Structure 1
Amino acid sequence: MLKPFIIITDSIMNTPHTSTKALFEIDNQIDILVKKIELLSYVNPTNIEAEKERFFASKYLTDPVFIYPEINFDRFNLHRELFSQPIEQIEDTEIRQLYQDIIYAYSGLIQCIETIGEGKKFYYNSLHSFGTPTEDDVENAKFILHFDDEDDKDEQFRPKYNELQTEQKFRDYSKRYDFTYTIKFSNTMSAIAMVLNNTKTLVINQNHTFSDNEIAVLTNHEIGVHMVTSMNGILHPLKIFSHGFPNYEETQEGLAVFSEYMSNSLTVRRLKELAYRVIAVDSLAKGYSFSKTFRLLHNQYDLERERAFYITVRAHRGGGFTKDYLYLTGLKKVYNYYKEGKDLKCLLTGKISLSYLTSIESLRKKGFTAPVKHITDSYLKNNNTNKTVDFILESLK
Structure 2
Amino acid sequence: MIESITVNFIKKAVRSLQRGKQVHRRLPQGGLLYIDRPLPFLVLFRHPAGQPDHPTADFLKANAAYIISHHERTEELRPLVQSIAMSMADKFGAFMIIELMAADADAADTPLFKILGPEEQLPTTTKTIVQELKDIKLNGASASVTTESNQPLLQEPQCLMSEEELKKHSILVLGLQLKPVYKNTSTGKVYPLLQRNLREKVANAIKKTVFDFVSVQTSHHPIHFQALGRQAVNRVVWRIDKQLTSISNQFRFLLLVTPVNNREAWEEFKKAKFSKAPTFHYRLMPVDADQLKRKLYNISIEKVDDPTLGYLFRDKRHELDKMLTMLSYRNTPDFLYSSMQLYGTVSDQLLKVAEGILAAVPEPTRNAEPDIIPVPEFVAQAEQEIAFLREQYPALDSGVDVREDVVGLIVSKGRLNVGTDARIPRHRAEALIQHEVGTHILTYYNGKAQPLQQLYVGSPGYEELQEGLAVLSEWLVGGLDQDRMRTLAARVVAVYHLTKGCSFTDNFWRLKEEYRFDDETAWNITMRVHRGGGLTKDAVYLRGLVHLLDYLKQGHELEPLLIGKIRQDYIPIVQELIYRNVLRPMPIKPRYLLDERLKPKLEQLKGGISVFNLL
Whether the aligned pair in 1 keeps the contact of 2:549 and 2:609 (CA below 8 Å) is no
Q: Is the 8 A contact 2:463 2:567 kept in 1?
A: yes
2:354 paired with 1:141? yes
Q: Which amino acid aligns with 2:371?
A: P
Query: Partner residue of 1:132?
Result: 345
Amino acid at match of 1:393: V
* Structure 1 contact 126–322 (Cα < 8 Å) conserved: yes
Residue number among 145, 164, 188 corresponding to 2:376 in the alignment? 164
User: What is the Cα deviation at residue 87 of structure 1?
Assistant: 1.2
2:411 counterpart letter in structure 1? V
Pairing partner for 2:570 from 332, 356, 367: 356
Match of 1:284 among 482, 487, 498: 498
The equivalent of 2:328 in structure 1 is 114
Closer, same or farther in 2 for the Cα pair 1:29/1:146, shift >3 Å? Answer: same
| Residues 27-51 of structure 1, C-alpha deviations (whole Å, 9 max, x = no match) | 0111111111321120111111111
SS of 1:185's partner is strand
Instruction: Give the letter for the 1:172 counterpart.
Output: Q
Q: Which amino acid aligns with 1:135?
A: D
Could you say which residue in structure 2 is the equivalent of 1:194?
A: 410
User: Which 4+ stretches in 1 moved above 6 angstroms?
Assistant: 8-13
> Any conservation in 2 of the 1:187–1:205 contact (CA below 8 Å)?
yes
One-letter code of the match for 2:374? Answer: N
Secondary structure at the counterpart of residue 424 of structure 2? coil
Question: 1:99-140 deviations in whole A, cap 9, x for unaligned?
Answer: 11110011111111222112x111111111101111111111
Q: What is aligned with 1:378?
A: 592
Alignment of 1:264-275 (within 5 A): 264-275=478-489
- State percent identity of aligned pairs: 27
Contact 1:9 1:369 (8 Å CA) reproduced: no
Tell me, yes or no, if the aligned pair for 2:316 and 2:459 is still in contact at 8 Å: yes
Hey, what's the Cα distance between the residues in 2 that align with 1:63 and 1:394? 34
In structure 1, what is the Cα distance between the partners aligned to 2:526 and 2:600?
Answer: 32
For 2:539, give the aligned amino acid.
Y
**Does the aligned pair in 2 maintain the 1:39–1:109 contact within 8 Å?**
yes
Q: Which amino acid aligns with 2:611?
A: L
Q: For residues 203-227 of structure 1, what are the alpha-carbon distances to aligned partners after superposition, in whole Å with 9 as ceiling and x for unaligned? A: 1121123212221221010000000
CA distance in 1, matches of 2:373, 2:259: 24
C-alpha distance 57-383 of structure 1, shift in aligned 2 (>3 A)? farther
Deviation at 1:329, TM superposition (A): 0.8
Paired amino acid for 1:121: D
Instruction: Point out the more displaced range, 216-225 or 145-154.
Output: 145-154
User: 2:364 and 2:493 mapped to 1: Cα distance?
Assistant: 23
Q: Bigger shift: 181-190 or 302-311?
A: 181-190
* Alignment CA distance shift 1:384-1:150 (3 Å): farther
Q: Which amino acid aligns with 2:304?
A: I
8 Å contact kept, 1:264–1:384: no
Cα offsets for 1:10-34 (capped at 9, x unmatched): 9978x5x7xx211111001111111
Structure with bigger gyration radius: 2
Q: Distance in 1 between matches of 2:379 and 2:409?
A: 11
Q: Report if the CA contact (8 A) 1:262-1:378 is conserved.
A: yes
- Give the aligned partner of residue 293 of structure 2: 79
Q: Which residue is 2:399 aligned to?
A: 182
1:391, distance to aligned residue in structure 2 (A): 6.7
- How far did 1:98 drift? 2.2
Q: Deviations over 1:247-266 (max 9, x none)?
A: 11101101111111111111
Query: 2:263 matched to 1:49?
Result: yes
What amino acid maps onto 2:352 in structure 1? E
Paired residues for 1:342-353 under 5 Å = 342-353=556-567
1: distance between equivalents of 2:612 and 2:504?
33
Q: Assess, with a 3 A threshold, how the Cα gap between structure 1 residues 154 and 297 changes in structure 2: closer, same or farther.
A: closer
Secondary structure of the residue that 2:465 maps to in structure 1? Answer: helix
Structure 2 letter corresponding to 1:268: Q
- Tell me if structure 2 keeps the 8 A contact 1:263–1:384: no
C-alpha distance in 2 between matches for 1:293 and 1:323: 16
Would you tell me which structure has more helix in proportion to its own residues?
Answer: 1
Q: Deviations over 1:245-297 (max 9, x none)?
A: 11111011011111111111112221111001001111111211111110010
> Please, which runs of 5 or more residues in structure 2 have no aligned partner?
1-223, 391-395
Distance 2:580 2:274 in 1: 57
Q: Which has the higher contact order (CA 8 A, sep 6+)?
A: 1
Q: In structure 1, how many angstroms separate the alpha carbons of the residues matched to 2:305 and 2:397?
A: 38
Closer, same or farther in 2 for the Cα pair 1:154/1:91, shift >3 Å?
farther
- The AA in structure 2 aligned to 1:194 is I
Residues 153, 175 of structure 1: CA spacing in aligned structure 2 closer, same or farther, 3 A cutoff? farther
Alignment of 1:202-281 (within 5 A): 202-281=416-495
Residue in structure 1 matched with residue 611 of structure 2 by the alignment? 393
Classify 1:38/1:173 alpha carbon distance in 2 versus 1 (closer, same or farther; 3 Å).
Answer: same
For 1:331 and 1:382, the matched residues in 2 are separated by 19
State the 1:189 CA deviation: 3.2
Cα pair distance change 1:391/1:203, threshold 3 Å:
same
> Which residue in 1 is equivalent to 2:147?
none
CA distance in 1, matches of 2:590, 2:359: 31
CA positional deviation for 1:383: 6.3
Task: Structure 1 unaligned segments of length 5 or more: list them.
Answer: 1-5
Distance 1:279 1:334 in 2: 20
Distance 1:176 1:372 in 2: 16
Residue 145 of structure 1 aligns to a residue in which SS?
A: helix
Instruction: Give the total of aligned pairs.
Output: 378
- How has the CA–CA distance of structure 1 residues 49 and 151 changed in structure 2, closer, same or farther, with 3 Å as cutoff? closer
Q: Say if 1:44 and 1:188, in contact at 8 Å, map to a contact too.
A: no
Instruction: Give the 3-state SS of the residue equivalent to 1:204 in structure 2.
Output: strand
CA RMSD of aligned residues (A): 2.6
Q: What letter corresponds to residue 189 of structure 1 in structure 2?
A: V
Bigger Cα displacement from structure 2, 259-268 vs 181-190: 181-190
Whole-angstrom CA distance in 2 between matches of 1:127 and 1:37: 20
Secondary structure of the residue aligned to 2:331 is: coil
Counterpart residue number, 2:249: 35
Question: 1:76, CA displacement in angstroms?
Answer: 1.1
Which amino acid in structure 1 is aligned with residue 403 of structure 2? Answer: S
Q: Secondary structure at the match of 1:177?
A: helix
